[in-house]
């Protein structure tokens, strides 16, 4: 199956702020999402606990970990809402709220 992945401005800005190795690994991981869609599993993707629709892509280069939030939209399309650099063991709640807000805005419009 082939899926389409769209990237919001917020997510694109985040990706472009990262070094070239991390950007390359993100491109590869997004490629996996395009190829496998809902079948993409850990360690690459994980459902966000407490959310019915939000997932995260998990990207690691060395000791640096980046996360990109995404959701299934329609017509085999996923939308990447935002991302951040993980600095603690738990997923940052403010980042989840930001991603949820972007997702709700897209879904309502």
pLDDT digits (tens, 9 = 90+) for 49-82: 999 999 999 999 999 999 999 999 999 999 999 9
Length of the chain: 109
Q: What is the pTM of this model?
A: 0.94
Percent of the residues in the chain that have a pLDDT greater than 70, as a whole number: 99
With a cut of 90, say whether residue 1 has pLDDT above it. Answer: no
How far apart, in whole angstroms, are the C-alpha atoms of residue 38 and residue 16? 26
With a cut of 90, say whether residue 46 has pLDDT above it. Answer: yes
Please tell me what DSSP assigns to residue 19: -
Q: Which CATH architecture has domain 4-108?
A: 2-Layer Sandwich (3.30)
Annotated domain spans of the chain: 4-108
How far apart, in whole angstroms, are the C-alpha atoms of residue 78 and residue 57? 12
CA angle 72, 75, 76 (to 5 degrees): 55
Residue recorded with tokens 């309502």: 108
Contact of 82 with 13, CB cutoff 8 Å: no
Mean pLDDT of 2-6: 96
**Residue 16: which H helix or E strand, with range?**
helix 9-16
């Amino acid at each position: 199956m082939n899926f389409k992945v769209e990237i919001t401005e917020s997510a694109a800005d985040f990706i472009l702020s990262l070094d070239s190795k991390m950007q390359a690994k993100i491109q590869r991981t997004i490629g996996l999402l395009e190829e496998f869609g809902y079948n993409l599993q850990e360690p690459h993707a994980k459902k966000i606990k407490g959310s019915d629709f939000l997932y995260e892509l998990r990207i690691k280069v060395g000791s640096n970990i980046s996360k990109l939030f995404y959701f299934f939209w329609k017509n085999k399309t996923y939308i990447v809402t935002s991302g951040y650099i993980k600095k603690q063991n738990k997923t940052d709640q403010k980042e989840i709220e930001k991603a949820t807000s972007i997702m709700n805005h897209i879904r309502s419009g």
